[in-house]
Chains A and B, each alone.
Chain A
């Protein structure tokens, strides 16, 4: 693809915004992991560390009114779409001040105010939800995005929805975050053919991009979103990326070769962008962003830790709307 040449000022503003957004997620997840080890986060947790460029790049190409469906590894997409760090931290710590009042937890966060229609604990569920959301938002030239992992590409949801969306020319962008492992199993071991070929079989434009380069992701997402918004139907983006940690809390990720992990850590999207900012003379701005994000995340978790748990006596459930 040929990216337009932005002005230096605009480029720096976009780069700094992306840097801040990726750092927000990284610092959030790192603090979350610390809180998890201290027993403040309950159940399980699926961390997004290493994949930040995907959701930040894609969401920076969206309007606030566009819709996003994410996965159980969804903290990154949630933050990138605009869910507040204070609410999300409190939610994951089970507090009453959480985005969902503590009812949802890590795998099920929903925030209709920012267009996050859900994080889906069922692999592939996000694909159908975004496809359906596109039925709604096409009335106002909106776009819906489904985030999902490589594992979901072997789910019937993906195949049914790609066909459905293309037949109806729905404005949905399918974003596959290919982190190479479906839980503990390497994708190539359980996958026939190749993904691009499958998607092309439905007549849907598809592109595989470096998912650890936020600027590449954003540019590809812009083109995909424009395509969808203009009424030409769905697009598919495969973002090659890597989770630095295991699948979930119980997984040290020992099935992955050390050299593979090192290879991908060297491609960490955050230092990569920082180097570009330094080279362009924005090192000081980047440092300022780091300070701001560190303070925000620290404050968010501090507030969450101080917040009360919901009171079971006072929790009046209206099970029907």
Chain B
């Protein structure tokens, strides 16, 4: 069976949708001639031409605000904010315009925009090229927030995001661009649907993006200690698939949420709260593994220690279960 590389999955999804719908356009910094700094969009300029695949100036306000104006007048822009850390410059158009226009227009004017962005730490990019901006926007109703962990999911979810009539922030973890996977045996991914990627009985570990891979590797290690971990890939934060998590913890009774970001104001505490509200009786234990309350460090020893990787997930579960490693 052939494998699919994550960055190629992104390219395929955009290519497929641009071929299907001439209103789909792509713009951003270096997405056209250069094919994107993470090489996720090569060849699209050649296929679809300079009217639809556009290298913009380094002007996040203009390119995102422009995407809003284009989206409410008939186009379906897919834009790239090169690094998630640049998202604050784009956020006025996303949170003040795109997220609200459907509601404010009394549900007459939709804003079908996909904002792609490379996020996440572990690449020694330092404090301001490594963040995940998802939680900055999580408190705003009207924006879908999506983040795949696997190449085939990335293709399915990006196709769905482009076909969706709402603004979708689509986050791509930098450490995943080069992974290659075979076609998984699960159903094609849908927006707002989490996925149980490993079944287990003793504890439910929830994450998204690269955290899913860390959780899966940790689950392998935990099995050596006779701890059976179920791993859930959230695939996004809005819509939030609470049912899949609740169904899981009703069986495992233990919930660990792994977030590559600070606990305070993070999604993990938010999900934990929601699960508690809905299934408090099912929980014997629930906790969050997140990052310390400081910016992401550059130097490898500090960055590695900062991130909630495989070792820390294993240690956290064993400690919580009273098992000595």
Contact = CB atoms under 8 A, between A and B. Distances in A.
B154 interface: no
A109 B106 CA distance: 10
A163 B104 contact: no
A103 B75 CA distance: 25
B66 A161 contact: yes
B66 A101 contact: no
Given A110-B105, A135-B25, A321-B110, A164 B68 contact: no
Interface in B100-140: 100-110, 112
A133 interface: yes
Which of A67, A104, A110, A127 counts the most B-chain CB atoms under 10 A from its CB?
Answer: A110
A161 B62 contact: yes
B49 to A, nearest CB: 13
B104 A103 contact: yes
Interface in B160-186: 165-166
Interface string A114-155: 000110111001011111111111010000100000000000
Contact of A112 (B61, B109, B141, B142): B109
Given A101-B106, A136-B75, 5 more contacts: A104-B104, A117-B109, A128-B93, A133-B69, A144-B69
Contacts of B93: 125, 128
16 contacts: A125-B92, A125-B93, A125-B97, A128-B61, A129-B65, A133-B73, A144-B69, A156-B61, A161-B61, A161-B62, A161-B66, A164-B56, A164-B62, A164-B63, A320-B102, A320-B142
A57 to B, nearest CB: 23
Nearest to A156: B61
Given A100-B106, A110-B108, A112-B108, A163 B69 contact: no
Contacts of B25: 135
A157 B57 contact: no
Contacts of B73: 67, 117, 132-133, 136-137, 144
Interface residues of A, number: 44
A160 B97 contact: no
A168 interface: yes
Which of B56, B69, B92, B102 counts the most A-chain CB atoms under 10 A from its CB?
Answer: B69
Contacts of B106: 99-101, 103-104
A108 interface: yes
Contacts, number: 136
B97 A321 contact: no
B62 A157 contact: yes
Nearest to B113: A132
Interface in B50-94: 54, 56-57, 59, 61-75, 77, 92-93
Contacts of A299: none
A69 interface: yes
B70 A164 contact: no
Contacts of B71: 132
A111 B68 CA distance: 15
